[in-house]
Amino acid sequence: MALCIGLTSLFPVAAQKSQTTLSGDLVIFHAGSLSVPMKNISAAFKKVHPDVNILLESAGSVESARKITDLNKPCDIMASADYKVIDNMLIPKFTNWNIKFVSNEMCIVYSEKSRYAGKINAQNWYEILQKSDVAYGRADPNSDPCGYRSVMTIQLAEKYYKKPGLAGILTAKDQNYMRPKEVDLVAVLESESVDYIFLYKSVAIQHKLKYLELPAEINLKDPKFTDLYNTAVVPINGKEPGQKVMMKGEPMIYGVTMLTNAPNKPVALAFLQFMLSKDGGIKILEKDGQPSVIPQSNPNFDKLPAELKQFCKK
């Protein structure tokens, strides 16, 4: 009851009207790392809008975008673990704006049963991952931003620890343990198929997993190191067969948009208003380990729906 009252106070008129007027399916494609918070946000939203049927579809962000661009699957909202996926793959043909909303960071996740779990630290993790009796997993760079960010972290580690050739050695190792999206790696770790995985800190927090925090120079979190992050570059498959897109390292920022041909725009707008509000979805996201970056400057500010301009800067 307290939550319902809180939401109604956020949108007093809209909330009262929408309980009878907002209805139908709302289709949301989202990054795997948003699975837990999106379920929680959706449950909170439905307490105010019970007639809305929210259909959440989790996948790697690049894969999610391809469902729109290549498969023409109907979708109202796309939430990406990297705002650049929306910029590069969906703007301007499928949408004309993108809102940056939360951040994250790379870490190394493990269990009590992982080999050398009692010895690994921020200064020796790259040595432990190279050991022949250790296996590690990471996401596929062509499907998921966590995949290319894992490679970027490894590239930056080569510079930070002054270990020439490290990136080549680590990326060549254990490729059979790559998975389409980062949350798939949790099952691989829990089954003890691997000892360590590269993962977002938020996912580790949400699943109550042990994790090793990495230096700010390599974890892709701190805007202070943007120039350094920019030196890490990973090629991924582009829109056309044989095409490559070069992804450049930068501080992690998630993006969200509503598709131009969204089947249920009134509900999509109401959901985004709640999702991006400080006392609504953002409060849930921060509890689940994803700090807000709202408001950020937006190059497409004039194209934003009026209801969403409050979450951006011009």
Low-confidence winner among 33-37, 84-88, 239-243 (lowest mean pLDDT): 239-243
81 and 135 both lie in a single domain = no
94 within 8 A of 260, measured Cβ to Cβ: yes
Question: What pLDDT, on the 0 to 100 scale, is given for residue 183?
Answer: 81
Same domain, 243 and 118: yes
| Alpha-carbon distance values, 246 to 76, 88, 232, 235, 267 (Å) | 28, 11, 10, 4, 35
> In angstroms, what CA-CA distances link 116 with 110, 154, 272?
10, 20, 44
Residue-averaged pLDDT of the chain:
92
Cα–Cα distances (Å) from 41 to 37, 56, 149, 195, 244, in that order, read 6, 11, 26, 32, 35
Same domain, 39 and 79: yes
pLDDT of 5 strictly over 80: no
- On whether the CB atoms of residues 139 and 178 are closer than 8 A, the answer is yes
Alpha helices in 78-174 (DSSP H): 83-89, 125-130, 145-160, 166-172
Q: Are residues 139 and 240 in the same domain?
A: yes
Please tell me whether residues 39 and 112 are part of one structural domain. no
What is the phi/psi pair of residue 258, to 5°? -110, 135
Question: Are 85 and 127 in a shared domain?
Answer: no
Q: What percent of the chain clears pLDDT 70, i.e. is strictly above it?
A: 94
**At 237, is the pLDDT very low, low, confident or very high (cuts 50, 70, 90)?**
confident
| Contact (Cβ atoms closer than 8 angstroms) between residue 249 and residue 226 | no
| 180/300 same-domain check | no
The domain boundary, picked from 228, 248, 268, lies at 248
Residues 262-305: tens digit of each pLDDT: 999 999 999 999 999 999 999 999 999 999 999 999 999 999 99
Residue-number span of the structural domain to which 199 is assigned: 106-248
Question: What are the beta bridge partners of residue 178?
Answer: 138
Last-in-domain residue among 201, 220, 248: 248
Query: Do residue 31 and residue 55 come from a single domain?
Result: yes
| Weakest mean pLDDT among 11-25, 82-96, 110-124, 224-238 | 11-25
What confidence category does residue 256 fall into, taking pLDDT thresholds of 50, 70 and 90? very high
38 and 54 fall within a common domain: yes
At which of 248, 270, 285 does a domain end?
248
86 and 155 part of one domain: no
How many structural domains comprise the chain? 2
Categorize the per-residue pLDDT at 21 as very low, low, confident or very high, splitting at 50, 70 and 90: confident
- Assign residue 235 the CATH number of its domain: 3.40.190.10
* Average confidence (pLDDT) over 24-53: 96
Q: Kindly tell me the burial class for residue 162, based on how many C-beta atoms sit within 10 Å of its own C-beta (0-12, 13-18, 19 or more).
A: exposed
Q: Specify the pTM.
A: 0.84
Instruction: State yes or no: pLDDT of 16 exceeds 60.
Output: no
> Which tens digit of pLDDT belongs to each residue from 49-96?
999 999 999 998 989 999 999 999 999 999 999 999 999 999 999 999
143 in the same domain as 19: no
Q: Does one domain contain both 191 and 285?
A: no
Token digits of residue 29: 């494609």
Residue 240's pLDDT band, with cuts at 50, 70 and 90, is confident
